[in-house]
Chains A and B, each alone.
Chain A
Amino acid sequence: MTDSPSRARTGARRTKPRPPSARRSAASAGAASTGAAADAKGGAAPSTGTAGTTDAATPARANGRRQSRAALNGHAGTEGRSNGRRANGVPWTPPVTPEPETASPPVPVDDHEPDIWDERVAGALRFLRRRITGQYDVDEFGFDPDLTETVVHPVLRLIYRHYFRVEAFGVENLPTDGSALIVANHSGTVPIDALMLTAAVHDETPDRRHLRLLGADLVFRLPFLSEVARKAGSTLACNPDAERLLRNGEYVGVFPEGFKGIGKPYRERYKLQRFGRGGFVSAALRTGAPIVPVAIVGAEEIYPIIANVRPLAKVTGLPYVPVTPLFPWLGPLGLLPLPSKWLIQFGKPIDTSTLTEDADDPIVVFNLADQVRETIQESLHELLERRPDPFT
C-alpha cells in the first residue's frame, strides 16, 4: 500500500512524452510485437538475435515501456488515486498520458494538464510527515519500502538511465511470481553493479519487484552503510537469511565472487573469479527457487584498478585499497565513476525444484555452481561483442 503513490508517480515520469522514443514504440508495432512474442514464449530474444545490437535492444525497451503504461492505465492509476484520497483527504489527479483518452472533454491543453508540481509537493510533504511520525512499515530484515521507493529508486533511476545508459535484456527470464536467486558477476571496485542490478530488476519488471541483495559482513559492520543497506532491502550473506527470503517469495541477488571479483585488477576484467563455497546453490536447492544467471558488462570500467595498496589495506582492515587512473591522484574528483556503457543480460532460469533432496550433496552443488559460472562467463563474452567501445 505504501508504495502505490510513488509507483504511480514514477509511471507518470516514464510516460512523459519523449518524441523519438515514443514514436519508435508506437510506430514500430512490429518491434513491440516481437518483444511480446518473446515474452509469451518466455524465450531469449537477445541471445538468438545477436546480429544487430540496437535491434535487440529495441524490443526489450519498447516492451518495458508498454508494460509500464499498461500498469499505469490499469491498476496502478486507480490504486494511486484511492490512496491519495485516503491519505490526503483530497482527490488525486491522474498524471497525463500521451494516448488520447476517449472520455476527455475538449478543454484547452493548458488546463487539461494536471498540476504535476502540486502533486509532487503534496507527495513530498506526505512522505515527510510519514517519516517524522514513524508511520511506515519495515520488514523483519529492516527493508523499508517507503524510503526505497521514494528516495533510493528515483536516484538510482537517474544514474541507470542517464549516467551508465544501462540496457537490460532478458528480464522476461525472471519468474513473474515467486522467488528467484539472481546470481551475477561482481566488479567495479565499489558495488555500483549491485545497485544497477537492483534498479534493473525494479524498473524493468512489470510489477516492480524488489531485489533483496546479500551483502558482505563488512557492509553490516560499518555504521550508516549497514542501515542504508538494510533499509534498501539488503541483508547479510548467510544461508538462513537467503533461505528465509526465498521462502517468502522474494528475488534474492547474490555475487558469489565477492571481494575477489569486485577488487580484481583491471587487466583481469570480465574474467570470472572463483565462486566461493557455492552456498548460494544450496540455498536455492533447499527452497526450490530457480537460479537466474546474470551477466553485467560495464562495471569493470568505472574504477579501473591498476594497483592495490596492500599494506594500507592490512592496516585499515579493508579487503583492498585501490589505485585507479583518477584515484587518489585527483582527490575527491577521483571518486567519480567513469561513465561506461552498461549492458545487463538476464539468462535462462535454471530449475532446481527437482534437486531439493541434493542440497547437501557437495558434488551436485559444485556442478551447479560451475554451470552457473560458465553461463555467466559465456554471456559476458557475448555482451562484450555487442559493446565494442566501453564508453559509447
Chain B
Amino acid sequence: MNVLVTGVGRYLGAHLAVRLAAHPRVGRVVGVDTVAPTPELAELLDGRVEVRIAELRTLIGAIAEADIEAVAHMGIVSTPIRGGRPAMKEHNIIGTMQLLAACQAAPGLRKFVVRSSTAAYGASFRDPAVFTESTPPTLMPRGGFAKDIIEIEGYVRGFTRRRPDVTTTVLRLAPFVGPDADTTLTRFFALPLVPTVFGRDPRLQFIHSEDALEILVRSVVESHRGTYNVAGPGVITLSQAVRRAGRVGVPVVEPGMSAFAAFVKASGIGEFSLDQLDLFVHGRVVDTNRLVEEFGYRPRSTEEAFADLVQGRGLTRPGAFAVLRPETVAAVETLVLDGIRAARTAVTGRPGRGPTND
C-alpha cells in the first residue's frame, strides 16, 4: 500500500510518515508539505520517505502519479504560520479542499485519514462536562483554528458522501504532549511562571505523542470508518498541571490574557490563540470509549502523558525554573512537622512523641 502524508514539515506528519515507512504493510510513503522540515525532522525522514516541498496545488498530482491508496492529511496547522491568520486559513482550508478534490479524482484511493482536533467542540460554560463524538458545539468557537477544524470536517463529510467506497477516518486529537514533541503547550509549561486565568481552573486532557502516532498508524493501516476522539482518559486541571510541573501559576484577569497572548507572540515562544484562551477558561474533556472499543487500544491516561512530559523534558530538574519540586516540598513538610513537634515538647514539657506514642 502506497501512502501520501501531508504536513511532513511538522512533528506529527514527519513522525507518522517515518512510522508508516517502517510498517510491513506499507510500500512507498510520499511526504508533502509547503514548508521544509526542520533539520532534526529532515534527518529522521532522510532515505525513508520521499519528501516533496512545494505549493500544495502542484503536489496534488502526486496522488495519481505515485499510485496512492491511502492519504493521511496531517497538514493542518493550529497556530498562524508565516503570513499570519490569512495564510493559516488558506493553508488549512484551501489546502484541504484541493487535497479532497484530488482524492475524489483518484479511483485507486481506499483510505482517507484526517487529523482533526477536539477544538471542534469549542469551549464554553454551556457545554456538557464531557463531549462525545456526537455532541455539537453549543457556540461557534471564536478561535481561528477551531473554525478551520469545523469547516474542514464539513468538507470531509461531503467527501465521505461522494466517495462512500473510501474508508474515511476523522481523528479529533487532544493537544499532544510527550518528551520529544515541541509544541506551544509544552513550551508553555516550561515557563518559570505560568499564566492562568483568574478564577478559572479548566479541566484539560492530553494525548501522549506516542499514542497519537500509534492510533494514526493504525487508522491508515487498518480500517476504522468514522469520527473518533483521541485523548488520554482522565483529567488534569490546569492548576494541577502547573504544580506537577513544579511551576507557579500566575492568575491573570481574562482581558489581561490577550495582552499575554501578544507577549507570547512577541517573545517568540509560540502563538497563543483565542482557541487556547477559551480552553484555558472553560477546559475541554472528551469521551474516549468509542476509540478504545474500535481500535482495541488504550492510550496512556492524561496524567501519565503529562508525567512523561514533565519527566522527559526534565521540568522538575534542579535549575529548570522549577520552584516547587516535589522533593523540596516533602523536605519542607518534614521540617515544619518536626519543628512543630519540638516546639510542643518544649511548651508542654513532655517528651516529644509524635504520632508514635504506643
Contact = CB atoms under 8 A, between A and B. Distances in A.
A241 B126 CA distance: 11
A118 B341 contact: yes
Interface stretch (A54-62, A127-135, A171-179): A127-135
Contacts, number: 117
B203 A142 contact: yes
Given A121-B340, A141-B129, A223-B199, A136 B240 contact: yes
Contact of B235 (A90, A91, A139): A139
A135 B244 CA distance: 7
Contact of B129 (A93, A231, A244): A244
A138 B235 contact: yes
A118 B344 CA distance: 9
B130 A240 contact: yes
Given A125-B336, A134-B240, A244 B341 contact: no
A131 B358 CA distance: 31
Interface stretch (B78-86, B216-224, B323-331): B323-331
A132 B324 contact: yes
Nearest to B203: A142
Contacts of B182: none
Given A90-B355, A118-B355, A142-B235, A226 B200 contact: yes
Contact of B337 (A122, A138, A217, A227): A122
Interface residues of B, number: 43
Interface in A104-152: 111, 114-115, 117-119, 121-122, 125-126, 128-129, 131-136, 138-142, 144
Interface residues of A, number: 46
Given A125-B336, A128-B333, A133-B243, A217 B355 contact: no
Contact of B333 (A119, A129, A224): A129
B267 interface: no
B244 A121 contact: no
B242 interface: yes
Contacts of A299: none
A346 interface: no
Contact of B242 (A122, A129, A134): A134
Contact of A140 (B129, B326, B353): B129
A213 to B, nearest CB: 13
B130 A115 contact: no
Contact of B128 (A92, A138, A139, A238): A238
A184 interface: no
A134 B129 contact: no
A249 to B, nearest CB: 16
A133 B235 contact: no
B333 A240 contact: no
B125 A90 contact: no
B98 interface: no
Contacts of A221: 125
Contact of A142 (B129, B234, B341): B129
A117 B341 CA distance: 10
A234 B209 CA distance: 32
A98 to B, nearest CB: 18
B26 interface: no
A235 interface: yes
A290 to B, nearest CB: 23
A140 to B, nearest CB: 5
A220 interface: yes
B298 to A, nearest CB: 16
A347 to B, nearest CB: 28
B129 A118 contact: no
B337 A140 contact: no
A236 interface: yes
Given A227-B201, A236-B129, A134 B244 contact: yes
A9 B103 CA distance: 65
Given A134-B241, A141-B129, A223-B199, A125 B235 contact: no
Contacts of A122: 337, 355
Interface in A300-316: none
Nearest to B237: A138
Contacts of A224: 199
B276 interface: no
Contacts of A88: 355
B135 interface: yes
A169 to B, nearest CB: 32
B58 interface: no
Contacts of B283: 142
Contacts of A121: 337, 340
Nearest to B242: A134
A122 B341 CA distance: 10
A132 B239 CA distance: 10
Given A122-B337, A140-B235, A236-B126, A129 B355 contact: no
Given A115-B355, A121-B340, A125-B337, A241 B128 contact: yes
Nearest to A217: B126
B64 to A, nearest CB: 45
Given A122-B337, A134-B244, A140-B234, A236 B125 contact: yes
Interface string B318-350: 000000101001100100110011001000000
A126 B334 CA distance: 10
A147 to B, nearest CB: 11
A138 B285 CA distance: 12
B337 to A, nearest CB: 5
B129 A138 contact: no
Interface in A72-119: 84, 88, 90-93, 111, 114-115, 117-119
Contacts of B198: 223
Given A133-B324, A133-B329, A138-B235, A240 B243 contact: no
Contacts of B215: none
B354 A90 contact: yes
Interface in B135-174: 135
B244 A133 contact: yes
Given A136-B240, A140-B235, A220 B337 contact: no
Interface of A: 84, 88, 90-93, 111, 114-115, 117-119, 121-122, 125-126, 128-129, 131-136, 138-142, 144, 217, 220-224, 226-227, 230-231, 235-236, 238, 240-241, 244
19 contacts: A92-B355, A114-B357, A117-B344, A118-B355, A119-B355, A121-B340, A125-B336, A126-B333, A134-B244, A223-B197, A223-B199, A223-B200, A226-B199, A227-B199, A230-B201, A240-B128, A240-B132, A244-B128, A244-B130
What are the 6 tightest A-B residue pairs by CB atom distance, in nearest-first order?
A: A223-B199, A134-B243, A240-B128, A134-B244, A134-B240, A220-B125
Given A118-B355, A226-B199, 9 more contacts: A92-B355, A114-B358, A115-B353, A129-B333, A132-B324, A135-B244, A144-B237, A223-B197, A227-B201
